[in-house]
């Protein structure tokens, strides 16, 4: 199977950097020769230096592959590399009569990271629903969410299958869980909408009582809470409980990140008003503020909320995040174990990108950041070796 345009862009980048291996060059050559256009052999000479040859071939390549349609991701400027635009249809093609020459002529070849052309894809709609009688149902990946209530349905109104007729199946406490590489939405009985990020769980009652609305969260979720009122006209609060933090809501939108491995809980307010409770204090958040609770103590700081809700819009945003935090998010979405062979490198990824791309997107970002890595696709493991 021929590689897709993202993989080709990655190989051209490595070619321009001078770190492409002979095997990867053959993949690139095969892609060019897969078109119906006439093949052209570029003759070379031992007197021509490798960098001169690479520059000449790359210039011809970029003039042949015309810009008609940009890749469906937002990428970042590559150092010393032009912005590439690709067309999937057949284009004028260059046969790089170069692989054998490069392998034999380089006295000191640069050894690139051990990259396997892989079909590891992004996450998608994946979740399991645990009922009140403890049965677990694998939810449809063709659907994006469910609606809770007396009857549990998908967002399009189709009932969730195999619930049975037992009275306690849809009563009591239920839980929705997304695995690594999964995301799902739930509309609770009061109309509140909750989007779960990868590797997250929300526990909720089938019906809320009149005096309070309480759910429990482990992982990350975006909440759009619907206002509810009691018989006396007073607002009924909505509470989200995590391991180290409790958030009290009075009709609002916010993001809550409570992955247990992080050790801290971050609540980012988009609009409305919330009160954050830790072991000591009750603190009110304003829009564009974030509460970080760590070891029972909460601090407040102003933030750009778009960075923390990008995942809800189907994007990564790497700005102002540590390398470890960024790679943890990538690992959850692609279901990869991130292994640091020589400690966490002093590096940072910047910008944003859509999450519907294959793992080759991440490899390109690591190349730009000059990170030495190895992808073990069979074991779904990405080994970070350090800075090049």
pLDDT at 98: 37
Task: Provide CB contacts within 8 A for 373, sequence distance 6+.
Answer: 113, 363, 366, 382, 383, 384, 385
User: Which tokens is 305 given?
Assistant: 């909320």
User: Which tokens is 14 given?
Assistant: 């490595």
pLDDT at 5: 57
Domains assigned to the chain: 5-105 (no CATH), 124-309 (2.60.120.1440), 314-387 (3.55.50.30)
Confidence of residue 230 (pLDDT cuts 50, 70, 90): confident
Report pLDDT digits (tens) over 252-285.
Answer: 899 999 998 888 899 999 999 999 988 788 899 9
pLDDT at 279: 78
Q: Would you say 200 and 217 are in contact if contact means Cβ atoms under 8 Å apart? A: yes
The mean per-residue pLDDT over the stretch 197-216 comes to 92
pTM: 0.69
CA atoms within 13 A on the CB side of 27: 22
Backbone angles phi, psi at 82, to 5 degrees: -70, 160
Tell me which of 181 and 364 has the higher pLDDT.
181
Helix, strand, or coil here: 260? helix
Q: Which residue has the tokens 């000449």?
A: 56
Mean pLDDT over each residue of the chain, to the nearest integer? 76
Burial of 274 (0-12, 13-18, 19+ CB in 10 A): buried
Its sign, for the CA torsion 251, 285, 282, 299, is positive
pLDDT at 27: 74
pLDDT at 239: 94
Continuous segment of H or E residues that includes residue 10: helix 5-17
Tell me which of 11 and 380 has the higher pLDDT.
380
CB under 8 A, 24+ apart: contacts of 294-303: 294/244, 294/263, 294/264, 294/265, 295/263, 296/244, 298/245, 303/268
Alpha-carbon gap, residue 64 to 339, rounded angstroms: 40
The mean per-residue pLDDT over the stretch 225-239 comes to 89
Continuous segment of H or E residues that includes residue 53: helix 50-64
Q: Which residue has the tokens 């990405």?
A: 382
pLDDT at 101: 34
The mean per-residue pLDDT over the stretch 367-379 comes to 90
| Range from 74-83, 97-106, 218-227 that averages highest in pLDDT | 218-227
Flag whether pLDDT at 312 surpasses 60. yes
pLDDT at 90: 24
């Amino acid at each position: 199977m021929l590689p897709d345009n993202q993989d080709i862009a990655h190989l051209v980048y490595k070619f321009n950097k001078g770190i492409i291996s002979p095997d990867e060059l053959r993949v690139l050559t095969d892609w060019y020769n897969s078109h119906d256009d006439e093949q052209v052999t570029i003759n070379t000479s031992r007197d021509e230096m490798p960098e001169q040859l690479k520059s000449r071939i790359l210039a011809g390549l970029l003039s042949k592959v015309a810009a008609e349609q940009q890749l469906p991701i937002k990428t970042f400027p590559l150092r010393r590399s032009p912005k590439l635009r690709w067309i999937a249809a057949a284009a004028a093609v260059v046969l790089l009569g170069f692989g054998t020459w490069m392998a034999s002529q380089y006295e000191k070849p640069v050894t690139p990271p051990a990259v396997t052309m892989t079909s590891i894809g992004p996450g998608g709609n994946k979740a399991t629903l645990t009922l009140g009688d403890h049965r677990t149902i694998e939810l449809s990946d063709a659907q994006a969410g469910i609606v809770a209530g007396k009857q549990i349905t998908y967002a399009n109104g189709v009932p969730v299958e195999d619930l049975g007729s037992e009275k306690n199946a849809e009563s009591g406490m239920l839980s929705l869980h997304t695995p690594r590489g999964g995301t799902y939405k739930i509309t609770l009985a009061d109309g509140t909408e909750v989007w779960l990020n990868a590797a997250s769980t929300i526990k909720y009652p089938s019906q809320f009582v009149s005096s309070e609305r309480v759910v429990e969260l482990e992982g990350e979720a975006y909440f759009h809470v619907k206002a509810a009122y009691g018989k006396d006209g007073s607002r009924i609060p909505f509470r989200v409980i995590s391991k180290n933090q409790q958030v009290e809501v009075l009709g609002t939108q916010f993001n809550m990140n409570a992955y247990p491995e992080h050790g801290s809980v971050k609540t980012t307010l988009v609009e409305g008003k919330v009160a954050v409770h830790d072991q000591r204090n009750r603190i009110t958040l304003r829009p564009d503020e974030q509460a970080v609770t760590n070891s029972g103590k909460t601090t407040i700081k102003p933030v750009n909320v778009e960075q923390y809700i990008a995942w809800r819009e189907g994007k990564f945003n790497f700005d102002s995040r540590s390398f470890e935090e960024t790679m943890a998010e990538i690992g959850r979405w692609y279901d990869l174990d991130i292994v640091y062979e020589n400690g966490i490198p002093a590096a940072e990824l910047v910008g944003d990108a859509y999450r519907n791309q294959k793992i080759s997107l991440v490899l390109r970002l690591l190349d730009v950041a000059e990170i030495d890595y190895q992808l073990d696709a069979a074991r779904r493991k990405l080994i970070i070796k350090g800075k090049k």
